[in-house]
Structure 1
Amino acid sequence: MLGVLAPVRPYLIEQTIDNYIVVGDLDGLGKMTLLLIAMALVQSLVQFSHTYLSGWIGQYVIRDMRVVLYRHLLKLKLRYYDQTPIGRLVTRAVSDIETLSEVFTNGLAALMGDLLQLFFILAVMLYTDWRLTLVSLATLPILIGATYIFKNKIKDAFNEVRTAVSNLNTYVQEHITGMNIVQIFNSEDREYDKFKDINIEHKKAQLRTVKYYSIYYPVAEVIAATGTGLLVWYGAREVLNEEITLGVLVSFIMYISLFFRPIRMIADRFNTLQMGIVSSDRVLKILDTEEFIKDEGTELLEDMKGEVQFDHVHFAYDGETKVLKDVSFEMKAGDSIAFVGATGAGKSSIINLINRFYEITSGNIYIDGKDIRSYKLESLRGHIGLVLQDVFLFSSSIRENITLGNKDITDEQIMEAAELVGADTFIKQLPGQLDYNVMERGATLSVGQRQLISFVRTMVYDPKLLILDEATSSVDSETEEMIQKAVERMMKGRTSIAIAHRLATIKNADKIIVLDHGEIKEVGSHDELLQKGGFYANLYEVQYKHATERE
């Protein structure tokens, strides 16, 4: 619409000069003035509508794209996050998608409008006087060449900027998250120097875009001004020779200004589109990633017993280096099993596979006699309670960290679970109790309190299979004793798996499985394994004897 209206105002001014100003018709001049004002108001209204509609469409599109992208991220395997920097994903989900909104706001629609405006202005100019048109556009090939060169240069510069932004986000995210490590090892100055280097690269990339814009726009302005100068020189001669009227010359000056303006902007429009293409390509690469656990099962675990069986299971995180080798074991409903072994023996890998956070390389895992791949993921994980050593709490209330937004869990259920694990005492002492904000990663709570919150978070779902991944290794002796009593109550009527770290967890287990480099070395009770005098006995001597003496 704007492209169609663009030539109207110069045409009206041409008519005003030739038909009213030159002949001294003041009444007609007044009417034309009102018409020009009305025309300006119409163009302003159309401009507002165009700008608002473009922005509205752009924001709705990126809203939907972010939702689609985030839903896809939620389904990706943990292996994908093991291999992909979080800062890069943040850049894709925020900055790259924000760039796509520019395609709708200042890119595609604006480019179509500019091209339409050029077409109509050129048509009117040729219809009015083809000779003046040729003179006016004599410098156009030079401007097109300069625009083409600028477009290529600025595209490369923008790609460098996007890469620099991604690197900057990745570095900042990782090092703010790990700030305690930075400070513990007095590495502030070294990390500061690294950040300065990355930031300098970002600055250089941005300055390259500034340089190209600084060169292009003055050059384009000089070329456009030269075209206008040629038009005035030739047009003035034609007016003096009475070949054209003064109104035609004035209108052509306006036409040429309107014609060169969108050409100068077209380079920006193309670059906006190119950046949109680059950003969309990055987003689509994530959406095309199929590294997710295939939820093709149809079975529902409506009444889980808790029977678990590993049948010759092999597993490798990277697909090559095996961390589990031919692991086979079986546990019946109500059994409690503890896994022990050195770091890297494969204990946590077994837990990850039971929850289907990763897919096994070969072999089979059965729960209640059926392959875990036959169950729907939500149903499978809904019956498994997992307590990790490294507790992650969100910057929210205790209630939100326990329910994770599940509206079906009541405050009464939360406090019942808290009482079970002994967390109710400290929760009641906090300001606001369940409404207390634990801040990012639970910074306002002690390590033991964070661990207790994770216990409550698990127990409100009343899991049939309870898994404890060294759940008491991060707490003090007093808290451990309280948790151990809670764990004993939690295990009643449930199948339980514990990655053993402290002596109490191992002694109470029905069966202990000793792992070493991904292989099962020994299986038996605590007393049986000690009597064998083998691998477990040596582990016990090294890792647990001193703890026993202190007890």
Structure 2
Amino acid sequence: MTQTSAENDTAQAAARDKAQARGLVLWLWRGYLHKHVWLLLVALVFMAIEGSMLGALSYMMQPMFDQVFMQGDGSALAWVGMAIFSIFAGRAIASVVQKVLLTRISQHTAADVRTTLLDRLMAQDVAFHKTHPPGYLIQRVQTDVASINQVWSAIITGAGRDAISLVVLMGVALNVDWRWTLVACIGLPVLVLPSLVVQRFVRRRSREVRDLGARLATRLDEVFHGIVPIKLNRLESYQSSQFRNLTNRLVGTEVRAAIGAAAIPGLIDIMAGLGFLAVLFYGGGEIIAGEKTVGQFMAFFTAMIFAFEPLRRLGAISGLWQVAAAGIERIRELMDAEPTLREAAAPVPPPSGTPDVALSDVRLFYGEAEILRGVTMRAEAGKTTAIVGASGAGKSTLFNLLTRLVDPQHGHVAVGGVDVTRLSVADLRGLFSVVSQDALLFDETLRENVVLGRTDVSDARLKEVLDAAHVSDFLEKLPDGLDTEVGPRGSNLSGGQRQRVVIARALLRDTPVLLLDEATSALDAQSETVVQAALDRLAAGRTTLVIAHRLSTVREADRIVVMDKGRVVDEGTHDELIAHDGIYAGLYHLQFNTGGPTAEDRLAAQTVADPPRTRRRRTFVGRLLSRLPRL
């Protein structure tokens, strides 16, 4: 009963694997391979020619041995020799042509898959990228797509060359003696169940290899991007140890997968040995008795020898498919993942002119954590609105909402009176220019980092934005001017220079709304002065929202919004907020050491926006502070 149940489970699992394999092959064919169908057919024709040549060669063994060697027929020597030479020449030409065609097909299709996958990944929202680190995605795009090339090459070659070789060679063997052929294949039934078990083992190990490879890629990405803090904190040994542990796990899993993949052709070799042993005993007696000729035996022997080689390769395809299928499954999972942010079903035109920006009772959760708690605020059109508050207050999240990197669970976000969910994402983001402290530059020329692929930018317009952003101040110092390569992430430029390039990019975009997120916080005083002047010019005539910890950069804002723990707790001009003597005043006096309210006073001011339980806790702490001796 137990054995029967295990056999049924194995059969059901095999059926599921076959159905899944068919689904993957159909996905590859319909999505990418069918566009190359004519080239593929030509390649298959040449594969068929290459494969059939082995059958022709084995067939020629009989006249070569019987007529030339055994009977000494000299007249047969010429035509047999030329026939064999023609077989090898035809096989060589067919092999070259089909390999070139197949390489062209596989490389083009792999490029299509990579491009499509990258497009899908870039379309995903921020929440997706928070759970899928860059190293993981790089592994999927590079390594897993490479496995598709292996599958196409192996399966198509197996179908076009090895399968035809096997059919032709078995036809030659059957033509010589069908009984010998059955005896030679006596071990085939023994292969079925072990092969199914081995295939499932290889698939599981291959999935583990892909996942470990992705973790290794993520670790490398973290190491190389964090090389400075790693050095400063003397973490080289720690990171090396972590990487070595992952590598050792990967090696062990790779070896186990290789054992499984090699087991299938190994089983075929054992079966082939048993078959030849049986034929030798069975057919040898017929040759000794004169019932069969040496030429017939050599033709049969050669056909079977040649037949087991493509059979071995076809068996190896099974193992290779299991390895590749694990990668293809991961690719399909990423391609089938739907972005949580949906485009508007019937998008409306974007607002014209310089729009205002408004949030109404906006609440946002990341999992269980509530990030924004009923935020209501408005940034007037053409004016500068600053958003200040402690780290974690939810300031940057507001920018993510405005540009629809994330949607709130409650409330509304509007630009120019239009809810952002009613606009197409492209139109919405076309309204904004963003300058943050992380000046993102690409490993291209400075010119390309400003124009970003645009071809409609005149030299005069480009010079105008470069002058306005103070990029022209350092341009002459660069070795190739605008054609200077800025290096990975702009590493060939200083922090201030990178910021000015990003500002020039924003000026060239010329959008009505400007978002500045700590744009000068990482700069020294001299660079900050230059960059701030460029930002002031950029903000002129635009609806501008500024996030800043340095309150000196927002004093002149038309309106300042104070946030604390995901809520708007105060707003007004600088002078009004100082007069309110709340959180903003506390932050201002703390930064500029004006001798303003004490720590106890600032703590009391913060309780205005706190819920009752927190307010009681802060009041208790305030009483404790009041009893401490004044230093």
Q: TM-score, normalised by structure 1?
A: 0.93
Instruction: Verify the 8 A CA contact 1:21 1:29 in the aligned structure 2.
Output: no
**Aligned partners of 2:416 and 2:561: how far apart in 1?**
20
CA deviation after TM superposition for structure 1 residue 531, in Å: 0.8
Q: 1:304 to 1:74 in 2, by over 3 A?
A: farther
**Aligned partners of 2:350 and 2:116: how far apart in 1?**
29
Residue number in structure 1 paired with 2:439: 391
Instruction: Verify the 8 A CA contact 2:261 2:320 in the aligned structure 1.
Output: no
Residue number in structure 1 paired with 2:566: 518
Spell out the pairing of 1:81-480 with structure 2 (5 A cutoff).
81-111=129-159, 113-142=161-190, 147-148=195-196, 150-212=198-260, 220-291=268-339, 293-296=341-344, 298-301=347-350, 303-318=352-367, 320-480=368-528
Deviations 1:195-252 (A, max 9, x none): 1111111222233244456766666545434433433343332112111111110011
**Aligned partners of 1:484 and 1:152: how far apart in 2?**
62
CA deviation after TM superposition for structure 1 residue 25, in Å: 1.4
Instruction: Verify the 8 A CA contact 2:499 2:531 in the aligned structure 1.
Output: no
SS at 1:193's partner residue? helix
**Aligned partners of 1:292 and 1:408: how far apart in 2?**
34
Structure 2 counterpart of 1:496, one-letter code = T
Corresponding residue to 1:43 among 87, 91, 112: 91
Is 1:536 aligned with 2:584?
yes
Instruction: Verify the 8 A CA contact 1:51 1:105 in the aligned structure 2.
Output: no
Residue number in structure 2 paired with 1:22: 70
SS at 2:136's partner residue? helix
Instruction: Verify the 8 A CA contact 1:503 1:547 in the aligned structure 2.
Output: no
SS at 2:571's partner residue? strand
Greater Cα offset, 406-415 or 460-469: 406-415
Residue number in structure 1 paired with 2:605: none
Structure 2 counterpart of 1:438, one-letter code = V
Deviations 1:10-39 (A, max 9, x none): 112213322343322111121111011112
Q: 1:260 to 1:33 in 2, by over 3 A?
A: same
**Aligned partners of 2:198 and 2:316: how far apart in 1?**
9
CA deviation after TM superposition for structure 1 residue 150, in Å: 4.5
Deviations 1:363-409 (A, max 9, x none): 11111111122222222222311101122222122112222222223
Deviations 1:416-456 (A, max 9, x none): 22221323111222111111222112222222222222211
**Aligned partners of 1:547 and 1:333: how far apart in 2?**
36
**Aligned partners of 2:534 and 2:201: how far apart in 1?**
66
**Aligned partners of 2:205 and 2:586: how far apart in 1?**
62
CA deviation after TM superposition for structure 1 residue 546, in Å: 6.1
**Aligned partners of 1:4 and 1:233: how far apart in 2?**
29
Deviations 1:247-294 (A, max 9, x none): 110011112112222232223201222233222211111111112533
Spell out the pairing of 1:489-500 with structure 2 (5 A cutoff).
489-500=537-548
Q: 1:485 to 1:162 in 2, by over 3 A?
A: closer
Spell out the pairing of 1:500-511 with structure 2 (5 A cutoff).
500-511=548-559
SS at 1:396's partner residue? coil
Instruction: Verify the 8 A CA contact 1:417 1:456 in the aligned structure 2.
Output: yes
Greater Cα offset, 344-353 or 23-32: 23-32
Instruction: Verify the 8 A CA contact 2:210 2:326 in the aligned structure 1.
Output: no
Greater Cα offset, 257-266 or 458-467: 257-266
Instruction: Verify the 8 A CA contact 2:206 2:322 in the aligned structure 1.
Output: no
**Aligned partners of 1:109 and 1:69: how far apart in 2?**
26
Deviations 1:290-346 (A, max 9, x none): 12533335333373312111121112234x422111111123221211001000101
Q: 1:257 to 1:152 in 2, by over 3 A?
A: farther
Structure 2 counterpart of 1:479, one-letter code = S
Greater Cα offset, 149-158 or 377-386: 149-158
Structure 1 counterpart of 2:407, one-letter code = E
Instruction: Verify the 8 A CA contact 1:13 1:247 in the aligned structure 2.
Output: yes
Instruction: Verify the 8 A CA contact 2:173 2:299 in the aligned structure 1.
Output: no
Q: 1:151 to 1:262 in 2, by over 3 A?
A: farther
Corresponding residue to 1:7 among 36, 55, 59: 55
Instruction: Verify the 8 A CA contact 1:77 1:357 in the aligned structure 2.
Output: yes
Q: 1:183 to 1:470 in 2, by over 3 A?
A: same
**Aligned partners of 1:225 and 1:331: how far apart in 2?**
83
Residue number in structure 1 paired with 2:21: none
Residue number in structure 1 paired with 2:600: none
SS at 1:165's partner residue? helix
SS at 2:332's partner residue? helix
**Aligned partners of 2:595 and 2:73: how far apart in 1?**
109
Q: CA RMSD in A?
A: 2.4
**Aligned partners of 2:212 and 2:76: how far apart in 1?**
61
Aligned length: 547
Corresponding residue to 1:32 among 67, 80, 85: 80
Structure 2 counterpart of 1:321, one-letter code = A
Instruction: Verify the 8 A CA contact 1:346 1:517 in the aligned structure 2.
Output: yes
Instruction: Verify the 8 A CA contact 2:343 2:425 in the aligned structure 1.
Output: yes
Q: TM-score, normalised by structure 2?
A: 0.82
Structure 1 counterpart of 2:76, one-letter code = G
Q: 1:247 to 1:42 in 2, by over 3 A?
A: same
SS at 1:509's partner residue? coil
SS at 2:476's partner residue? helix
Instruction: Verify the 8 A CA contact 1:231 1:253 in the aligned structure 2.
Output: no
SS at 1:242's partner residue? coil
Instruction: Verify the 8 A CA contact 1:151 1:268 in the aligned structure 2.
Output: no
Instruction: Verify the 8 A CA contact 2:387 2:395 in the aligned structure 1.
Output: yes
Structure 2 counterpart of 1:375, one-letter code = L
Structure 2 counterpart of 1:361, one-letter code = Q
Q: 1:279 to 1:27 in 2, by over 3 A?
A: same
Instruction: Verify the 8 A CA contact 1:347 1:499 in the aligned structure 2.
Output: yes
Instruction: Verify the 8 A CA contact 2:386 2:560 in the aligned structure 1.
Output: yes
Instruction: Verify the 8 A CA contact 2:559 2:572 in the aligned structure 1.
Output: yes
**Aligned partners of 2:133 and 2:106: how far apart in 1?**
28
Corresponding residue to 1:56 among 82, 91, 104: 104
Instruction: Verify the 8 A CA contact 1:398 1:437 in the aligned structure 2.
Output: yes
Q: Calculate percent identity across the aligned residue pairs.
A: 28
SS at 2:246's partner residue? helix
